[in-house]
Amino acid sequence: MEAMVERIFPNWSRTLGAMARRPLHVRSRCVGCGIQLRVDATELCAVHGPSATLIDRIDRCAVVGCDGAIYYEVSLPFRQSWIRLVNKPALNELIETEAATPVTAPLIRDRRACP
Ligand SMILES: [Zn+2]
């Protein structure tokens, strides 16, 4: 039997309702293409309800042509570190070993500048 280690997430990151009440940053990251997108926690709270959580939530990537899966990360303003909202050990291992390199707008701009 696999040992289950429960990660501890801050209270403000456990539900969409708690996240919507705080000024924080939420982003999605695609395992397939690496694209990171800003996420509006208030908007997701309106769609899924205040008791819904992003912890271990996997959605489809919204990038055209990508069939990858996205997971979520959260950070408080003015903090450099992001908390990966993934608790399942198998999912964390998959992300660590298989996930594409994170892609941000400056990286895309730099790629375009190369011949
Ligand atoms: Zn993708």
In this predicted model, what pLDDT tens digit does every residue of 22-70 receive, in sequence order?
A: 999 999 999 999 999 999 999 999 999 999 999 999 999 999 999 999 9
Tell which wins on pLDDT, 102 or 39. Answer: 39
State residue 42's pLDDT score: 96
Query: What tokens appear for 34 in the block?
Result: 């690496």
* Bridge partners (DSSP) listed for residue 60: 69
Ligand 1 centroid distance, CA of 104 (Å):
12
Ligand 1 centroid distance, CA of 11 (Å):
29
Q: Which residues surround ligand 1, an ion (CB under 5 A)?
A: 30, 32-33, 61, 63, 66, 68
Ligand 1 centroid distance, CA of 60 (Å):
8
In angstroms, the Cα distances linking 87 to 7, 8, 41, 42 are: 6, 9, 19, 22
State residue 34's pLDDT score: 93
In the chain, what are the domain boundaries?
11-113
Ligand 1 centroid distance, CA of 98 (Å):
13
